[in-house]
């Protein structure tokens, strides 16, 4: 009875078990189908084509779009919108972006799956396996390089060592930043050596009206006829290492170019001394003491006395000439002048003692006085600079109101330091005028080689030499027989006769013939640096583990790091610029290239041989 009662229960349990088993099979089938879809997706040739097309587009974008620049540079070149898009999508650093590495890994997975799917367990498949394996290894090597590679630089000074390098990154703001990263060892620079080439120089001629230049032979005695012109150049002399020695001399007793040699004493020793030329460099300024020494030559005693009486009363003025009418106005800033009989107004915007000098007015030397003027008229407004020492500036530069001629005067004369000393001289009289706060405090006749007190700081002044007609004698002397600063003596024969001139290779300006149509320039050519090498030591725990002298294309390699000679200190030669590189993907990529070579050899040579042998065996 019990067995009979139990039968229905057993049948029910069997049905439940079958139901559970069916559900499990359905789940497993769905999983198998899903896994098959993933497998088929990864094995798809279409996937490989799509990945390769995307990578081609990425490579084109990485070539067209500037890489590794700052956000400001992208904004200036492409605009703010595109610059932001490039930064977000990493198109500013395509080949090191995460999505490009993902594409490489996806392509690598596709190759692996395709290789497994097509693989047949036969020796004839060896070439197929090796070539596909080579591509996989090369791709993996690229990913490892882009994501794990190291590239940076560091400057090492002689006698010092470093245990870090700096790598360039683009920060979140899109600007270039440098990150300091540690090295597992230290690099010491024992010595840095610059090897120089033998210096070379050339003589270049230039004919202005022909706009033609030519390099000339500089052998002494060589005579050149300049093609297409009437100029001839003869090389008269050559000095390999020359120096120009200048000696001040008096050319005559006529006061054509008066000059005095002045010494300023603070106590017993001279604190400043030099020549003051009445017609050229006639002043000396000591900013620390607010002291100015000025030399003025006057043709007569009457003019000298008039000059002394007018000290402190000089005021700058602006001269305006319109249609032949000349009118003078005081040079006052922001004051508007309306010349009579015209429809123009003129306003002075500013005036300076030294044009181009950005310092405050009271700190500027009166070397190039100028005023900025605004002219208004029927055709609008024009702004113009007027120079006291260059009154013809307007004539040489076109202006809107060409009929308005401007000139300024007295800016330099009105300038005075708190303590001003004027050394005045005429044929009959010579005096030292001591001026404080634009007022004459003392007038003292002076004699040569005598000291006179001046200024507020117990200074003394002495005139030790006077030349009525100051000039220089010039002599070229040879410093050594080695090539240093060479010089050549040339004779130029042209429409205005012959002219001899020494040309120095150190002079960056050309020497012109008197007609300003022909010029010569003696200059150095090429880079004088031949090699730059560094004697390096690798230190670990304070102990030297490796030594090597590196130069360009001959680096030091240690623990996977490659240390290149990349730059140097161009001025003092005291430091060496090193480039630090580590590429862990190289061994993987090299293995891939090796597998590719073996696979190609197998496909083209070994596989045909094996097929022929199998065919012969089958026929037997």
| Pick from 381, 368, 375, 370: nearest CA to 405 | 375
Residue 451: pLDDT above 80? yes
pLDDT at 615: 83
For residue 28, what pLDDT is reported? 60
Average pLDDT value for the chain = 85
pLDDT computed for residue 2 by the predictor: 42
Q: CA-to-CA distance for 414 and 35, rounded, in angstroms?
A: 96
Stronger pLDDT, 451 or 620, i.e. the higher one: 451
The predicted model gives 80-85 an average pLDDT of 87
Given this model, what pLDDT does residue 457 score? Answer: 66
Residue found by looking up tokens 């002399």 in the block: 237
User: Is the confidence at residue 506, as pLDDT, over 70?
Assistant: yes
Top-confidence residue, 614 or 571? 614
CA distance 401 to 112: 81
468, pLDDT greater than 50: yes
Alpha-carbon distance of 560 to 56, in angstroms, equals: 31
The whole-angstrom separation of Cα 394 and Cα 37 is 85
Q: Which pLDDT score, from 0 to 100, does residue 155 have? A: 92
pLDDT bin (cut points 50, 70, 90) of residue 9 is very low
**CA 23, 28, 30, 33 torsion-angle sign:** negative
- pLDDT tens for 113-163 read 888 887 777 788 888 888 888 888 888 888 888 778 888 999 999 999 999
Indicate the pLDDT class of residue 30, thresholds 50, 70 and 90.
low
Confidence band for 399, pLDDT divided at 50, 70 and 90: confident
For residue 573, the model assigns a pLDDT of: 67
Are the CB atoms for 259 and 470 separated by under 8 Å? yes
Domains by residue range for the chain, with CATH: 15-118 (no CATH), 152-196+530-582 (no CATH), 200-249+473-525 (no CATH), 252-312+416-468 (2.60.200), 317-414 (no CATH)
Q: Is the pLDDT of residue 284 over 90?
A: no
pTM of the model: 0.45
- Asked whether residue 1 carries a pLDDT value surpassing 80, the answer given is no
Cβ atoms of 254 and 468 within 8 Å: the answer is: yes
Rounded Cα gap, residues 232 and 72, in angstroms: 54
Per residue in 570-583, pLDDT (tens digit) is 766 688 999 999 98
pLDDT digits (tens, 9 = 90+) for 163-179: 999 988 776 666 677 88
Can you give the pLDDT at residue 545?
A: 94
Of 468, 462, 471, 466, residue with least CA distance to 262 = 462
């Amino acid at each position: 009875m019990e067995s009979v009662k139990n039968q229905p229960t057993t049948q029910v349990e069997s049905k439940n078990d079958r139901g559970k088993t069916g559900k499990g099979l359905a789940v497993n089938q769905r999983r198998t189908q899903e896994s098959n879809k993933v497998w088929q997706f990864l094995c798809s040739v279409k996937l490989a084509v799509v990945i390769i097309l995307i990578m081609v587009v990425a490579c084109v974008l990485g070539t067209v779009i500037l890489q590794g620049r700052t956000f400001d540079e992208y904004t200036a070149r492409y605009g703010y919108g595109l610059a932001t898009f490039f930064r977000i999508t990493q198109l500013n650093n395509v080949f090191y972006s995460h999505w490009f590495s993902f594409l490489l890994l996806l392509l690598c997975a596709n190759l692996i799956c395709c290789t497994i799917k097509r693989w047949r367990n036969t020796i004839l498949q060896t070439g197929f396996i090796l070539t596909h394996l080579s591509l996989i290894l090369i791709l993996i090597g690229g990913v490892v390089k882009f994501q794990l590679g190291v590239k940076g630089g560091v400057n090492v000074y002689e006698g010092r060592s470093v245990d870090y390098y700096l790598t360039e990154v683009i920060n979140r703001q899109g600007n270039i930043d440098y990150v300091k990263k540690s090295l597992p060892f230290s690099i010491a620079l024992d010595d840095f050596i610059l090897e120089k080439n033998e210096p070379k120089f050339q003589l270049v001629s230039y004919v202005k009206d022909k706009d033609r230049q030519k390099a000339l032979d500089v052998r002494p005695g060589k005579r050149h006829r300049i093609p297409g012109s009437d100029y001839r150049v003869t090389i008269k002399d050559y000095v390999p290492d020359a120096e120009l020695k200048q000696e001040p001399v008096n050319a005559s007793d006529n006061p054509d170019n008066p000059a005095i040699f002045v010494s300023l004493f603070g106590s017993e020793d001279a604190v400043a001394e030099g020549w003051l030329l009445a017609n050229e460099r006639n002043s000396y300024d000591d900013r620390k003491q607010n002291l100015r020494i000025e030399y003025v030559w006057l043709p007569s005693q009457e003019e000298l006395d008039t000059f002394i009486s007018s000290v402190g009363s000089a005021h700058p003025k602006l001269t305006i000439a319109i249609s032949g009418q000349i009118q003078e106005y005081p040079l006052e800033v922001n004051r508007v002048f309306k010349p009579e009989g015209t429809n123009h107004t003129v306003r002075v915007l500013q005036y300076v003692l030294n044009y181009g000098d950005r310092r405050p007015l009271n700190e500027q030397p009166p070397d190039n006085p100028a005023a900025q003027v605004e002219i208004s008229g029927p055709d609008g407004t024009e702004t113009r600079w007027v120079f006291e020492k260059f009154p013809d500036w307007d004539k040489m530069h076109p202006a809107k109101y060409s009929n308005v001629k401007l000139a300024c005067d007295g800016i330099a004369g009105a300038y005075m330091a708190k303590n001003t000393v004027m050394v005045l001289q005429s044929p009959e009289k010579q005096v030292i005028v001591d001026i404080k706060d634009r007022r004459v405090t003392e007038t003292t006749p002076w004699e040569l080689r005598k000291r006179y007190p001046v200024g507020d700081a117990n200074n003394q002044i002495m005139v030790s030499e006077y030349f009525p007609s100051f000039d220089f004698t010039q002599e070229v002397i040879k410093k050594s027989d080695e090539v240093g600063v060479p010089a050549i003596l040339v004779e130029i024969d042209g429409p205005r006769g012959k002219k001899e001139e020494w040309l120095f290779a150190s002079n960056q300006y050309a020497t012109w013939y008197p007609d300003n149509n022909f010029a010569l320039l003696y200059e150095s050519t090429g880079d004088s640096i031949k090699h730059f090498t560094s004697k390096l030591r690798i230190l670990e725990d304070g102990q030297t583990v490796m030594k090597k002298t590196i130069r360009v294309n001959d680096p030091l390699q240690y623990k996977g790091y490659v240390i290149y000679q990349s730059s140097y200190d161009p001025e003092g030669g005291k430091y060496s610029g090193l480039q630090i590189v580590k590429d862990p993907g190289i061994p993987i990529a090299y293995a891939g290239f090796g597998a590719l070579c073996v696979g190609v050899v197998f496909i083209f040579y070994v596989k045909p041989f094996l097929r022929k042998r199998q065919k012969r065996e089958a026929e037997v």
